[in-house]
Structure 1
Amino acid sequence: MKLTILGGGGFRVPLVHGALLRDNSEGRVTEVVLHDLDEARLRAMSRVLTQAGAGVAHAPAVNATTDLDEALRGADFVFSAIRVGGLAGRTRDERVALDLGVLGQETTGPGGLAYALRTVPVALDIARRTREVAPDAWFINFTNPAGIVTEAMQAVLGDRVIGICDSPIALARRAIGALGLDSSATEIDYVGLNHLGWLRALRVDGSDHLPELLADPAALLTLEEGRLFGPEWVRALGAIPNEYLYYYYFGREARAAILAAPQTRGEFLLDQQDAFYAAVAEHPETAAAEWRRVREERDATYMREARAEDEERDAADVAGGGYEGVALAIMAAISRGETSSMILNIRGAGAVPGMPDDAVVEIPCDVDADGPHARALAPVEGHMLGLMQQVKAVERLVIEAATTGSEQAAVKAFALHPLVDSVSTARALFEGYRRAHPELAALFAPH
């Protein structure tokens, strides 16, 4: 079975490869093809993967190419983790917003919208090539903003595009662990959009155990989310929010912390990864060991702006991750008929009352040989549904702007986002991003 990884020179690729190395079942992936436009990064990641797989009898063959059609041809699954504009583009996304006094974060708020505007056209080109070269492949999208990119690509590839994220399942796993429940017997009720969702219930034999956790401040504080939001706010919500909702519920504090930091997250990662790729080029024999060292540092500093100065992430949180496991579970369920339950970004098809049937939402699914099937969910009420509807409307405006070059749709998207405080600011954001990114200057050039 052939797996193609787009963005194959990216830093997180070894996580996917590591999951493949742990899979010794029949029908496993036997060939991994890395695709990237950066040959130096492809060489570096090929070395990391080759060294990591040394001595593993069933390690898949690793090949690399800069030719997209070559990478796609014959693929059974395509995993996408591209970053249009690279980390340099991310730093501009962050700084344009921060300079206007607005949250600068790569997937949440205006930075995420700018990222989507330049990513959607590229993602659609990839979708069209996939339809031509590998029409039977399943496409697993991890490219951010995952919800927007997945919905845009579905216009070309339909339901064969599945969006994944590690945040929801990591949250559910932590909560299940805090309650001491059996994960295999626990039904998870989670609802939202990518990077905007809530864990609403954890049921065993029809009985919801989440209220027990919400009523126990000490237990809540053992969770990353409990420390982020505080037990009182979590209890008031009656649900545990995805960590990215920190930027909505504590926007002032998040903005102040990011502005006070010597670097944005993007600037930190840019420096760190430039050093990593340079080190691998100079000492290729240490590629895998250097990757492991840098990865630990990267994970330990994740969402630093949301924690106290002396607060470190728990080892379980650092190791939590999980998107690579989700990707492997999807491939196993579809290719081998190993039915599995997981939280994915898929077309809701009526599963979430109040949301358009064709909207991509992040919800629990059952996945089998025919792909994912949404579970019907209890109604979403109050501010949760309102926030989902507003952000989904913004996401769809972004797709419209990215596919038509409509300046009006782009400005409207910025203006209607809950984290942008005025239409004037939205216009300034649009102009700032158009100046900062050549891709957007070309997309929105006067005709």
Structure 2
Amino acid sequence: MKLAVVGGGSTYTPELIDGFARLRDTLPIEELVLVDPAADRLDLVGGLARRIFAKQDHAGRITTTTDIDAGVADADAVLLQLRVGGQAARNKDETWPLECGCVGQETTGAGGLAKALRTVPVVLDIAERVRRANPDAWIIDFTNPVGIVTRALLQAGHKAVGLCNVAIGFQRKFARLLDVNPSEVHLDHVGLNHLTWELGVRLGGPDGENVLPKLLAEHGDAIADDLRMPRQVVDRLGVVPSYYLRYFYSHDEVVRELGTKPSRAAEVAAMEKELLAMYGDPTLDEKPELLAKRGGAFYSEAAVDLAASLLGNGGSPVQVVNTYNNGTLPFLPDDAVIEVQARVGHDGATPLAVPALDPLYAGLIAHVTAYEDLALEAALRGGRDRVFKALLAHPLIGQYEYAEGLTDRLIAHNREHLAWA
């Protein structure tokens, strides 16, 4: 089995490598190719990756290349974890929206749209190369904004599934609180990527006992603290919203907060510099503890599970993924991409049935889906007017004056990445 990781020079990658090494019985990789245009980073990450495999006695071969076509040739699955423009572009995404009084974040709001516009054309080009190399290869997309990118891939006819680590993070957190094995915890996880709610937490399987009320009663303070939301808000909802709902439920508070401290991109850039220095140490043969602060916790376990299921090597039969709606949420079009529990196998992902949603959740899902429609149109076809309409449609913006100012700033800060600008 051959896997390729596009964006393999990311500081995330050792997390992925550690999972591949530990879970080799689930996903028996014979060849792993790390692909990245940044040769210097690739050498550091590739060296550490080989040492991790060697320490854990993994027999698989790890190679590196800056050539996408060479890297994906004959791959059975390709993982996408790229960041067009790097942390410098992310830093802009997190700062210029604040000038208009709007949240600056890399996956939602105006910053999220900027990332989508930079990313979708690049991902589609890579996907075409994968299809030419092996039409049967699966593409697993971890590249944000996952929902929009996955929809672009699916609409172009690629064999693709989107992946996020939010659900597995909740699963592991709830398992610790309940003192059970994570495999016993199943989530009623519903929504769009980075716009989800845990409507239930079930033990033993998708139809098991819902222990969410017990979790909120006994551990509500800890859960609310992790979400950075007031306990009374979580109690009133009676569900667990993802951390990203804070941008919607506490928008103005978050804007004020972001204006008083360095951007997350600046923090990550400093962290990456330190991590890369560590990766260059020839004695380091395991992922460093600092990597846990970088983000992407449990990404490797989720990626291994998904790849194993798609490639017919086992894996969990039910996983939380991003895939076509196909009637699962009746108020959305079939070709919307949703993030829910799905049955996953060699034919792809089929969402499980979802009970009728409270309008509190359904309304916001529908609103953001409408924005994502317009965002994808702007990413595929370009044009100032399409960018403006997408921004005006976003529930975190929604005012003509804001949308005008944000459109000008988005184009000015991303001109080098926009072929039409």
Change (3 A) 1:226 1:96: closer
CA contact (8 A) 1:364 1:375 kept: yes
* Structure 1 partner of 2:389: 412
The residue matched to 1:173 in structure 2 has which SS?
A: helix
Residue 326 of structure 1 pairs with residue 302 of structure 2: yes
Tell me the alpha carbon deviations over residues 249-296 of structure 1, each in whole angstroms, 9 at most, x when there is no partner.
1112211111111x100111123323443x358x5425556x615314
Tell me the alpha carbon deviations over residues 111-155 of structure 1, each in whole angstroms, 9 at most, x when there is no partner.
111111111111111111111112111111000011111111112
* Structure 1 partner of 2:39: 39
The one-letter code sitting in structure 1 at the alignment partner of 2:145 is P
Offset at residue 433 of structure 1 (A): 1.6
Ranked by relative contact order (alpha carbons within 8 Å, sequence separation 6 or more), the top structure is 2
Structure 2: tracts of 5 or more residues without a match = none
Change (3 A) 1:183 1:269: closer
Q: How many percent of aligned residue pairs carry the same amino acid? A: 34
* Structure 2 partner of 1:139: 139
Tell me the alpha carbon deviations over residues 92-118 of structure 1, each in whole angstroms, 9 at most, x when there is no partner.
111111122211111121111111111
Residue 295 of structure 1 pairs with residue 291 of structure 2: yes
- C-alpha separation in 1, matches of 2:192 and 2:374: 15
* Structure 2 partner of 1:194: 193
Tell me the alpha carbon deviations over residues 202-239 of structure 1, each in whole angstroms, 9 at most, x when there is no partner.
2345542222333x1x5112326665222211121121
CA contact (8 A) 2:26 2:304 kept: no
- C-alpha separation in 2, matches of 1:431 and 1:267: 23
* Structure 1 partner of 2:343: 366
- C-alpha separation in 2, matches of 1:273 and 1:176: 30
- C-alpha separation in 1, matches of 2:356 and 2:85: 39
Offset at residue 438 of structure 1 (A): 2.9
1:352 to 315, 325, 329: 329
Alignment of 1:297-446 (within 5 A): 297-299=293-295, 321-335=297-311, 336-440=313-417, 442-445=418-421
The residue matched to 1:236 in structure 2 has which SS?
A: helix
* Structure 1 partner of 2:69: 69
CA contact (8 A) 2:77 2:138 kept: yes
CA contact (8 A) 1:349 1:357 kept: yes
Tell me the alpha carbon deviations over residues 4-58 of structure 1, each in whole angstroms, 9 at most, x when there is no partner.
0000101101111111111242760111101111111111111111222223322
The one-letter code sitting in structure 1 at the alignment partner of 2:120 is V
The residue matched to 1:346 in structure 2 has which SS?
A: strand
The one-letter code sitting in structure 2 at the alignment partner of 1:294 is L
* Structure 1 partner of 2:213: 211
Alignment of 1:36-115 (within 5 A): 36-115=36-115
- C-alpha separation in 2, matches of 1:226 and 1:273: 24
The one-letter code sitting in structure 1 at the alignment partner of 2:149 is V
- C-alpha separation in 1, matches of 2:229 and 2:82: 31
Change (3 A) 1:271 1:57: closer
Structure 1: tracts of 5 or more residues without a match = 300-319
The residue matched to 2:42 in structure 1 has which SS?
A: helix
Alignment of 1:1-12 (within 5 A): 1-12=1-12
Offset at residue 413 of structure 1 (A): 0.7
Alignment of 1:241-280 (within 5 A): 241-261=241-261, 263-277=262-276, 279=277
Cα RMSD for the two superposed structures = 2.1
Equivalent pairs counted in the alignment come to 417
Tell me the alpha carbon deviations over residues 361-396 of structure 1, each in whole angstroms, 9 at most, x when there is no partner.
000012123222210110122121111111111111
The residue matched to 1:191 in structure 2 has which SS?
A: strand
24-33 or 385-394: bigger deviation: 24-33
CA contact (8 A) 1:128 1:156 kept: no
Alignment of 1:151-162 (within 5 A): 151-158=151-158, 160-162=159-161
Offset at residue 182 of structure 1 (A): 5.8
CA contact (8 A) 1:411 1:426 kept: yes
CA contact (8 A) 1:94 1:264 kept: yes
- C-alpha separation in 2, matches of 1:323 and 1:108: 20
Change (3 A) 1:91 1:24: closer
The one-letter code sitting in structure 2 at the alignment partner of 1:162 is V
Give the TM-score taking structure 1 as reference length.
0.88
* Structure 2 partner of 1:304: none
CA contact (8 A) 1:201 1:210 kept: yes
* Structure 2 partner of 1:172: 171
Offset at residue 397 of structure 1 (A): 0.8
Change (3 A) 1:275 1:213: closer
- C-alpha separation in 2, matches of 1:50 and 1:185: 33
- C-alpha separation in 1, matches of 2:188 and 2:72: 35
- C-alpha separation in 2, matches of 1:386 and 1:444: 33
Change (3 A) 1:359 1:328: same
Change (3 A) 1:272 1:64: same
* Structure 2 partner of 1:23: 23
- C-alpha separation in 2, matches of 1:439 and 1:342: 38
CA contact (8 A) 2:224 2:230 kept: no
Offset at residue 3 of structure 1 (A): 0.7
Change (3 A) 1:350 1:54: same
The one-letter code sitting in structure 2 at the alignment partner of 1:352 is L
CA contact (8 A) 1:140 1:164 kept: yes
Tell me the alpha carbon deviations over residues 317-351 of structure 1, each in whole angstroms, 9 at most, x when there is no partner.
xxx92221111011222331444221111111111
